[in-house]
Each structure stands twice: as C-alpha cells, then as structure tokens.
Chain A
Amino acid sequence: DVKVTQSSRYLVKRTGEKVFLECVQDMDHENMFWYRQDPGLGLRLIYFSYDVKMKEKGDIPEGYSVSREKKERFSLILESASTNQTSMYLCASSLTSGRYTQYFGPGTRLTVL
C-alpha cells in the first residue's frame, strides 16, 4: 500500500525559529513535492525534487529551502519562520514518467506565533 508519512501532524513555533518538516515515502518514487495549502488558494508548490540532491523551485520558494539526501526522504526547511508561513504543509511523491498520480502525506499544520 502506498505510504507517505510526515514527521508531525501539528507544530507550533515562534517567529525567527528554524523549522524542519520531514517527509518519507516507501514507494521508491523519484519525484517528491512540498506544497502549502491555504484557504481560497488551494495547493501551491513550494519546491520539488526529481532525484537525490536535485531540486527545483515551485511557485512560492521564498523563505524556504529543501534537502533530499536519500531517495525516500525530502525535508522542507523554514530558515527563519514568520507568521505568514502559518499554513498546512503537504508532502507528495510520484513516479517520474508518463501520466502519474501524486500521493500525499497527511499534512503538517504549522502555526508560527
């Protein structure tokens, strides 16, 4: 069964803190993605990775960075958290070729105070 897990379901951090969100998939997928979901805006792509150590910016990369040291793990880093980064963060993975489906993790609800 397809599985994408995220390290925390709920997280509360303070402004200026460095925040790490972890995502692990067990499907041997090449592609991994980080989105944020905000009311009225849907899912917006922050970063994606198509291979180990490879990354591409999405629509809203400012204030974020990512790390992919192993195929199954993709980390999202908020270098200095700000209140406007309060959101639901969703990780997804997919195969790399053809008509693929993205499989999502349960999400991390991050609140920055």
Chain B
Amino acid sequence: DQQVKQNSPSLSVQEGRISILNCDYTNSMFDYFLWYKKYPAEGPTFLISISSIKDKNEDGRFTVFLNKSAKHLSLHIVPSQPGDSAVYFCAASLYNNNDMRFGAGTRLTVKP
C-alpha cells in the first residue's frame, strides 16, 4: 500500500524554465513533508520540507506547496538548471514518528 505516490516517473524541461514535480498522499494524518534529491551513485540529500501548518515554503529557487484538502504537494524549481537533473523523492511522516514514507521518485532532466 503506497501511501505516497509520484505518478510521473520522469519529467523533461528546458534550462531556465519552471520544473513542477508532483506528489500525492493518502494518509491525512501525515503532517510533515520533505523533498529529497538523488544523483546517480549517491544517497538522497535533503532539499526542502514543509509542515502541515503551512501551505508554502521557499528556499532560493525551490518552493514547496502543500494542499491539505487535496492531499497534494508540489515542488517548483525556478529557474531550472542542468545541475538540477536528478531523481526527486517526496516523503511524508507523522510528527515525532520514525516511519517516513517515500514516493517512487521522479527523474528530472533539464536540457541546456
């Protein structure tokens, strides 16, 4: 039972344009959401997070939006750069809970 779903296995965008990666979850009790970025042959690295009391969090070129009623979050990258090409995982957890659920990942390719 996959509680966190990333329905797009891949996304290709042109350098300088916006990348939008999407994630849906089924457990309404999740209250903390994260995005990780993974390059080949490396472990995932933390990118940005958002708690359920917010609907938006920004960090430089990266913005995460949370729509609790739709159980949907998205990651916007503006402007996209070739170095952003990687697999992006979304994850969700409960507060103070060791059980973090990950989506299957979306492979982003940014073309020069």
Contacts and interface: CB of A to CB of B under 8 A. Distances in A.
A27 B9 CA distance: 33
Given A40-B9, A42-B89, A50-B98, A101 B46 contact: yes
A112 interface: no
Interface string A85-109: 0000011100001110111111100
A43 B42 CA distance: 14
Given A90-B44, A99-B95, A40 B49 contact: no
A99 B49 contact: yes
A56 interface: yes
Contact of A101 (B2, B9, B34): B34
B44 A99 contact: no
Interface stretch (B14-22, B65-73, B75-83, B99-107): B99-107
B32 interface: yes
Given A90-B43, A106-B43, 20 more contacts: A4-B43, A9-B41, A35-B102, A41-B104, A43-B89, A43-B102, A44-B102, A45-B100, A56-B98, A90-B44, A91-B43, A99-B32, A102-B46, A103-B46, A104-B36, A104-B43, A104-B44, A105-B43, A106-B42, A107-B43
